[in-house]
């Protein structure tokens, strides 16, 4: 027997196809059309179900509601449908509600669409959302489909009211959920094959922004934020079309097709170059979108947290009577942590009276303070740092020292760099950085983009040398940090030997920054040779004295440079970020097997140096 939802998935796909030139246009209109089709089909399905059950379905006390993407009007070509059958116990008994539910769910399953469904009383809806944060997020967008619309709307209104009352207590839970996803899925701008829903800066974060706005703790952003959300939904739609199924993973096999559908393939380029550049442009697009959405979540969350702080009175009877207060409200307290940089309510802000447009090193001082204290940079402060008069050719002893302190921040460097990268500071310090910013890696072993991988390499470099376990002196340590950041700067489109290409760029960069010739020479050599120890370890015999001598000669027979190369190789190999579901081979990565081979080759070169 035919059902109103038969072939619904096929119809979604048919109405979602790109234009004749292969470009997916008018995504918002297509999403509205899919939503309208789904709602009409579900209303007809409701009528069919009510007519086929063994009892008379009452006009009140039971209804079908849409939540999630369907309620938001964001249904993708292969999205699942989030539906809830709500009822009052006095209207239907358990047997009747189960019979009605089966008449709804089974035709939907047969249609080929994925279905997320629930059957609950109004009281159960409230109870679940009180204790289940994802359920509460879903219920902030509810749309009545059929049946008792008043029951659905009153249930949604009740849940929204409960959310607003509990939002102050649940704000930490909401922010913890975002942090947990960040740890699991990473940041959208820095993942080669990202989950565009769950990664930081993805669609899930847009739901959190809406939840914060619904709590009345903070208003949500508009304008460019709304544009970013719609564009990311376009990306999600294209992934569905390329994959032919409901998925949010932008895997490598889909990327070229998705880039074409988004209009990123330049037809004037030869086919091979066209595909490569289109994928690069796709990654850049995702980076821009992800940064905008992540920044919007951070700024909205910051305002929400500050609103909670300011709900508490800043003054009391004793402050009114205090001569220092003069009977007035006490001013905000700022704790100076660096020149022009202050701590305020758990964040770093600009000290009162500071003018970013007059201070070229202010951005570096803020970044260093954030890395060394572990405090985040206030979103408004971050935006203000764009005004700093930074010139890539104007470095001083102070700015060089600050830059090296920033690179030496260890694990905190990753967070700080991501924050300052949102406002484009690294590319203003080092324009060559823009050549690898957001670029995906061609290697399957790399989970992260080239820039993100390079920053993590720096974060893993220690001042202490391998072997002798002595500390590097300041100049060698500076060169090691700089080469960690710049070792892959030569990874550009169609460059065959990125190590040699990087060795061309590094001396130009470091001389422009004003580093002395020894540092420039060491960093250039290590950039050129940063794959050498790894290549020797997998392809040469460490027990052959001639091999150890050849490796030592590559490093000018300098034992300190050998130690630096070992530390760089280890940091490079352990920063690829491959997960259990991705490729990590003996050629790449830092497994125990890999470490054993590299250590053996390193020891061979050390023996050669001792024999000289």
Q: pLDDT tens across 451-475, in order? A: 999 999 999 999 987 655 689 999 9
Is pLDDT above 90 for 141?
no
Res 484: pLDDT: 97
Least confident of 2-6, 155-159, 162-166, 277-281: 162-166
Reduced to 3 states, what is the DSSP secondary structure of residue 208? Answer: helix
- Mean pLDDT in residue range 107-130: 85
Structure pTM? 0.76
Q: Bigger pLDDT: 11 or 576?
A: 11
The tokens of 149 are what?
A: 């619309």
Q: What is the mean pLDDT of the chain?
A: 87
The tokens of 25 are what?
A: 């246009």
Residue in 231, 258, 230 with CA at minimum distance from that of residue 242: 258
Res 579: pLDDT: 41
DSSP 308-332: HHHHS-S--HHHHT-TTTTTSPPPP
C-alpha 421, offset from chain centre: 12
Res 307: pLDDT: 64
Is pLDDT above 60 for 582?
no
What Å distances lie between residue 213 and 58, 144, 308, 345, CA to CA? 36, 22, 14, 21
Residues 28 and 230: their CA atoms lie apart, in Å, by: 7
Phi, psi of 324 (to 5 degrees): -65, -40
Helix (H) or strand (E) holding 1: none
Res 589: pLDDT: 61
Residues 98 and 261: their CA atoms lie apart, in Å, by: 43
Is pLDDT above 70 for 325?
no
Q: Bigger pLDDT: 393 or 345?
A: 393
- What share of the chain has pLDDT > 90, as a percent? 58
- Mean pLDDT in residue range 331-360: 89
Angle at 35 between CA 31 and CA 37, to 5 degrees: 115
The sign of the dihedral angle between the CA atoms of 8, 9, 15, 16 is positive
Residues 432 and 436: their CA atoms lie apart, in Å, by: 8
Residues 102 and 364: their CA atoms lie apart, in Å, by: 62
Phi, psi of 417 (to 5 degrees): -60, -40
CA torsion, ordered 550, 552, 555, 557, to nearest 10 deg: -130
Kindly give, in sequence order, each residue whose CB lies less than 8 Å from that of residue 88, ignoring residues fewer than 6 positions away: 61, 62, 121, 122, 151
The sign of the dihedral angle between the CA atoms of 491, 495, 498, 504 is negative
Reduced to 3 states, what is the DSSP secondary structure of residue 335? Answer: strand
Residues 249 and 232: their CA atoms lie apart, in Å, by: 13
Least confident of 113-122, 193-202, 544-553, 580-589: 580-589
Residues 376 and 391: their CA atoms lie apart, in Å, by: 25
Q: Bigger pLDDT: 135 or 289?
A: 289
Least confident of 222-226, 242-246, 380-384: 222-226
The sign of the dihedral angle between the CA atoms of 440, 441, 444, 448 is negative
Residues 554 and 609: their CA atoms lie apart, in Å, by: 12
Residue in 275, 284, 285, 226 with CA at minimum distance from that of residue 255: 275
Res 588: pLDDT: 52
Residues 100 and 123: their CA atoms lie apart, in Å, by: 20
Res 442: pLDDT: 61
- Per-residue model confidence as pLDDT tens digits over 469-522: 689 999 999 999 999 999 999 988 778 899 999 999 999 999 999 999 999 999
- Per-residue model confidence as pLDDT tens digits over 427-444: 999 999 998 888 877 655
What Å distances lie between residue 466 and 206, 243, 252, 257, 312, CA to CA? 45, 47, 37, 46, 53
Res 504: pLDDT: 95
Least confident of 280-284, 299-303, 519-523: 299-303
- Per-residue model confidence as pLDDT tens digits over 30-82: 999 999 999 999 999 999 999 999 999 999 999 999 998 999 999 999 999 99
């Amino acid at each position: 027997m035919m059902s109103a939802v038969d072939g619904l998935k096929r119809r979604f796909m048919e109405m979602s196809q790109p234009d004749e030139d292969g470009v997916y246009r008018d995504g918002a209109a297509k999403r509205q059309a899919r939503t309208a089709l789904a709602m009409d089909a579900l209303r007809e399905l409701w009528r069919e179900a009510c007519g086929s059950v063994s009892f008379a379905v009452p006009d009140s006390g039971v209804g079908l509601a849409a939540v999630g993407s369907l309620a938001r009007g964001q249904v993708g070509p292969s999205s699942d449908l989030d539906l809830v059958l709500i009822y009052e116990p006095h209207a239907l008994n358990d047997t009747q509600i189960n019979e009605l539910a089966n008449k709804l769910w089974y035709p939907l399953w047969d249609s080929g669409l994925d279905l997320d469904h629930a059957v609950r009383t109004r009281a159960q809806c409230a109870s679940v959302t009180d204790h289940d944060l994802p359920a509460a997020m879903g219920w902030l967008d509810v749309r009545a489909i059929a049946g008792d619309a008043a029951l659905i709307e009153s249930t949604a209104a009740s849940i929204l009211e409960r959310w607003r009352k509990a939002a102050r207590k649940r704000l930490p839970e909401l922010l913890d959920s975002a942090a947990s996803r960040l740890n699991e899925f990473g940041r959208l701008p820095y993942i080669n094959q990202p989950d565009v829903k769950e990664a930081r800066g993805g669609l899930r974060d847009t739901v959190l922004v809406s939840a914060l706005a619904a709590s009345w703790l903070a208003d949500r952003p508009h304008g460019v934020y709304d544009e970013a959300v719609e564009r990311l939904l376009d990306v999600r739609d294209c992934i569905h079309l390329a994959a032919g199924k409901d998925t949010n993973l932008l895997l490598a096999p889909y990327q070229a097709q998705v880039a074409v559908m988004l209009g990123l393939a330049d037809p004037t380029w030869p086919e091979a170059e066209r595909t490569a550049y289109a994928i690069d442009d796709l990654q850049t697009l995702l980076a821009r979108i992800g940064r905008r959405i992540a920044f919007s979540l951070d700024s909205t969350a910051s305002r929400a947290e500050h609103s909670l702080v300011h709900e508490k009175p800043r003054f009391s009877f004793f402050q009114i009577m205090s001569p220092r207060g003069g009977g007035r409200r006490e001013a905000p307290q700022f704790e100076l942590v660096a020149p022009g940089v202050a701590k305020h309510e758990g964040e770093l802000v600009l000290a009162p009276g500071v003018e970013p447009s007059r201070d070229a090193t202010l951005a570096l001082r803020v970044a260093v303070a954030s890395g060394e204290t572990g405090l985040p940079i206030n979103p408004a402060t971050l935006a203000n740092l764009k005004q700093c008069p930074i010139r890539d050719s104007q470095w001083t002893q102070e700015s060089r020292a600050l830059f090296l302190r920033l690179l030496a921040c260890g694990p905190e460097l990753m967070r700080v760099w991501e924050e300052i990268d949102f406002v484009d500071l690294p590319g203003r310090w080092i324009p060559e950085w823009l050549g690898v910013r957001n670029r995906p890696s061609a290697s399957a072993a790399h989970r992260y983009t080239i820039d993100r991988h390079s920053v993590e390499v720096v974060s893993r470099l220690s001042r202490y040398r391998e072997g002798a376990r002595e500390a590097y002196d300041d100049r060698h340590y500076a060169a090691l940090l700089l080469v960690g950041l710049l070792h892959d700067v030569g990874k550009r489109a169609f460059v065959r030997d990125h190590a040699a290409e990087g060795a061309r760029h590094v001396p130009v960069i470091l001389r422009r920054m004003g580093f002395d010739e020894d540092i420039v020479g060491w960093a250039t050599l290590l950039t050129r040779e940063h794959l050498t120890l790894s290549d020797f370890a997998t392809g040469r015999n460490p027990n052959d004295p001639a091999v150890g001598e050849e490796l030592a000669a590559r490093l000018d027979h300098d034992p300190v440079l050998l130690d630096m190369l070992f530390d760089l190789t280890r940091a490079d190999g352990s920063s690829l970020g491959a997960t259990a579901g991705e490729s990590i081979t003996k050629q790449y990565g830092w497994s125990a097997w890999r470490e054993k081979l590299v250590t053996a080759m390193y020891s061979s070169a050390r023996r050669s140096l001792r024999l000289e």
